[in-house]
A and B are shown apart, each in its own frame.
Chain A
Amino acid sequence: MWGAGVSIAKTHAKPEPYLLAGEFWHGVRDSLPVALSVVPFGLTCGVMGLTVGLTFLETVSMSVLVFAGAAQFISMTMLGAGITAFSLIVLTTLLINLRHLLMGASLAPYMARLPMPLQAVLAFGLVDETYALIMNRILVKEYSPGYQMGCNVNFYLVWVASTAAGVFLGGYIPDPLAWGLDFALPALLMALLIPRLADRPSYFACIVSALVAVLGALYLPGKWYIIIACLAASAVGGFMEGESSSAR
């Protein structure tokens, strides 16, 4: 097994295949309910791709290559608003996904024992849900690369398949925007935001971001208000974290 006491020589040994296979199916089984809850978002992603004028191939390849819900929704919103500046969309994607850095950092001590190619493959499947599942697994048992792979593959396939289904179904909805279906994105983001508002620094980050974003949307060109608001608000939140931790 992968106990902490393994020798240096064994540290870089390949993981036993049988271990990977058994744990793989555990991962698939455990992640199934959460993966199914992602289906509506995949469908929305497909419908949105169609709405903003992307082709089937473009919408699905975004899910296949990027595999990051929030970044995909936001970039498609930008494309829909006529923003096709490469640097702006890629920079926004980078900012939205900065949280992966923290998730990766907290997994690094466990994954450091794995061969680099396996780490590279597992890193591709690092999303909020799979991260939560693997951290829970570490809590109740021990870290398992096979389990993580099972969660990742399950999530990836459900995400790509539901995106493709969304593109097909979207074709049967005449002009979704006229019916306010573009509201799906703010509603979805709202459900992700509210649980994050748990302490003073997060309240202030939210208030600062809202004020800067509205002012920026009124007076700045393009979608730069997103980046300006994000930098200002996360700096305020981070500063307040520092204040409260030094006061303790």
Chain B
Amino acid sequence: MRGEIFLIIAGMAIATYFTRFACLVLFRAGGVPGWLERWLKHVPTAILTSLIVPALLLPRGTLDLSLSNNYLLAGCVAAVTAYKTRNVIATMVLGLIVMLALCWISR
């Protein structure tokens, strides 16, 4: 194992464990203050969006809004599937099938 990679993994492990244990120590008796709860509530939505949208709109590092952008087309299919089924497995499988088909067609 490369030292550089191991350091990153160890850092991630400590950061993750901190998020899991810190509040058990901090809020042993009381609860989370309201303002913090409101702010933290939207962190998952924000971070998920910031990862998905550039991956679909800039798959090669430049903005690509054309119909030849397979990531954008398959992304729309995945979004509709996720909305209709609320099912993680169905979204991934259908999205990947469309993606593989588009890659095969545009080969």
Contacts and interface: CB of A to CB of B under 8 A. Distances in A.
B100 A180 contact: yes
A109 B30 CA distance: 7
Interface stretch (A19-27, A141-149, A155-163, A202-210): A202-210
Contacts of A187: 74-75, 78, 91-92, 95-96, 99
A232 B43 CA distance: 10
A36 to B, nearest CB: 10
Interface string A75-98: 101010000101001110111111
A102 B40 contact: yes
Nearest to A62: B9
A105 B27 contact: yes
A183 B39 contact: no
Given A104-B23, A188-B92, A230-B43, A214 B87 contact: no
B67 interface: no
Nearest to A126: B20
A13 interface: no
B18 A94 contact: yes
B42 to A, nearest CB: 3
A237 interface: yes
Nearest to B90: A191
A191 B39 contact: no
Contacts of B7: 86
A124 B17 contact: yes
Contacts of A193: 45, 48-49, 52, 82
Q: Which of A86, A108, A181, A245 has the most CB of B within 10 A?
A: A108
A172 B94 CA distance: 22
Interface in A215-248: 217-218, 225-226, 229-238, 241-242, 245
Contacts of A153: none
A12 to B, nearest CB: 12
Interface stretch (A1-9, A50-58, A132-140): A50-58
Interface of A: 37, 40, 44, 54-55, 57-58, 61-62, 65-68, 71-72, 74-75, 77, 79, 84, 86, 89-91, 93-109, 111-112, 119-120, 123-124, 126, 178-181, 183-197, 201-202, 205-206, 208-210, 212-214, 217-218, 225-226, 229-238, 241-242, 245
21 contacts: A61-B9, A62-B9, A86-B8, A93-B15, A97-B20, A98-B19, A98-B40, A101-B22, A105-B31, A123-B21, A124-B20, A180-B74, A187-B78, A189-B52, A197-B45, A210-B53, A230-B46, A236-B42, A237-B42, A241-B38, A242-B38
